[in-house]
Homo-oligomer: A and B are copies of this chain.
Amino acid sequence: MKTIAQRTPGFAGADLANLLNEAAILTAKNDKKKISMAELIESIEKVMLGPERKSHVLSEKEKKITAYHEAGHALVAHLLPHADPVHKVSIISRGRVAGYTMKLPSEDKHLRSLSEFLDELAVLLAGHVTEKEIFKEVTTGASNDLKEATKLARRLVTEYGMSELLGPRTFGEREELIFLGKEIHERRDYSEKIAEIIDQEISNLINGAKKTAKNLLTKNRSLLEKITNELLVKETLEREEFEALFKNSKN
């Protein structure tokens, strides 16, 4: 029961109902009579990331890039003190993603601090940084990470008052207008000059996070290679398998 609780942070009643429904369907498919832990865990991933795409076969080169990319995310997440712990790393495609690193907070959080956000930014950029370090160029595989990182950096600056330069105030009117199924996010209520400073602050946050990720990846290159190789062999590393790699490396 604790495993399920840990892997479903922020799940509301309806989400849990949906989850059990998926698990029941899966159990029926597997010709079982009782929902077991295996079906539950499989269903959690399906609900969060979309179904596994067996047909979506990556080339050898793509598999290698994806393995390094995910290993980068996982390694940086493991090393940074305020990042959520890694629950699973995988290079099996799910939904639209080539691979994924599942990080789950060790407890439900109601308050998030700047330290946590900075570590999260570094984790988000780690895939991009790893690709650049290893292959000397980046692919489209990082574009979703970059989008998430930019969004998060923008919120730190415009919603949470975490920019020293701009001070403890907010910028932009957030609107949640549902207009023919479309959400429009922000109405600019500041001058062009402020818009420039916001851009600058977002870039500073992104560049700082990139540097953090790069330093960690350079100093722990052999760990990166180890995780990548393990991923290429096993395709999926559960939390215990992943953490074991670190214990071994200290021997």
A residues sitting closer than 8 Å to B (CB atoms) are 56-59, 62, 65-66, 93, 98, 107-115, 125, 128-129, 135, 137-143, 146-147, 149-150, 153-154, 159-162, 166-171, 173, 175, 177-182, 184-187, 189-196, 198-199, 202-203, 206-207, 210
Contacts and interface: CB of A to CB of B under 8 A. Distances in A.
A199 B194 contact: yes
Nearest to A61: B111
A115 B137 contact: yes
B167 A206 contact: yes
Nearest to A115: B137
A210 B147 CA distance: 29
A61 to B, nearest CB: 8
Contact of A177 (B98, B182, B207): B182
B143 A160 contact: yes
Nearest to A151: B170
A168 B203 CA distance: 9
Nearest to A154: B189
* Listed residue (A114, A139, A159) with the most chain B CB atoms within 10 angstroms of its CB: A139
Contact of A140 (B139, B160, B168, B173): B160
A193 B196 contact: yes
Contacts of A125: 168
A13 to B, nearest CB: 10
B62 A210 contact: no
Given A170-B150, A182-B177, A161 B128 contact: yes
Contact of A111 (B111, B140, B150, B207): B140
B180 A190 contact: no
Given A161-B146, A180-B179, A199-B191, A139 B113 contact: yes
Contact of A160 (B93, B115, B138, B189): B138
Contact of A146 (B114, B168, B194): B168
B199 A58 contact: no
